[in-house]
Chain A
Amino acid sequence: EDQVTQSPEALRLQEGESSSLNCSYTVSGLRGLFWYRQDPGKGPEFLFTLYSAGEEKEKERLKATLTKKESFLHITAPKPEDSATYLCAVQAGTASKLTFGTGTRLQVTL
Chain B
Amino acid sequence: KAGVTQTPRYLIKTRGQQVTLSCSPISGHRSVSWYQQTPGQGLQFLFEYFSETQRNKGNFPGRFSGRQFSNSRSEMNVSTLELGDSALYLCASSLDGGVGNIQYFGAGTRLSVL
Contact = CB atoms under 8 A, between A and B. Distances in A.
A101 B103 CA distance: 16
B54 to A, nearest CB: 12
Contacts of B31: 96
Contact of B104 (A46, A89, A96): A46
Interface string A20-50: 0000000000011010100001111110010
A32 B44 CA distance: 17
Contacts of B48: 96-97
B102 A43 contact: no
Given A34-B102, A46-B102, A96 B42 contact: no
Q: Which of B43, B56, B102 has the most C-beta atoms of chain A within 10 angstroms of its own C-beta?
A: B43
Contacts of B94: 96
A43 B105 CA distance: 6
Contacts, number: 67
A98 B103 contact: yes
Given A43-B4, A43-B90, A101-B42, A96 B105 contact: no
Interface residues of A, number: 25
25 contacts: A31-B100, A32-B99, A36-B105, A43-B4, A43-B105, A43-B106, A43-B107, A45-B105, A46-B102, A46-B103, A49-B100, A49-B102, A87-B43, A96-B48, A96-B56, A96-B94, A96-B98, A97-B48, A98-B35, A98-B45, A98-B103, A100-B35, A100-B43, A101-B42, A103-B42
- A-B residue pairs, 6 tightest by C-beta: A43-B105, A100-B43, A102-B42, A97-B45, A31-B99, A96-B97
Interface of B: 4, 6, 31, 33, 35, 42-45, 48, 55-56, 58, 90, 92, 94, 97-108
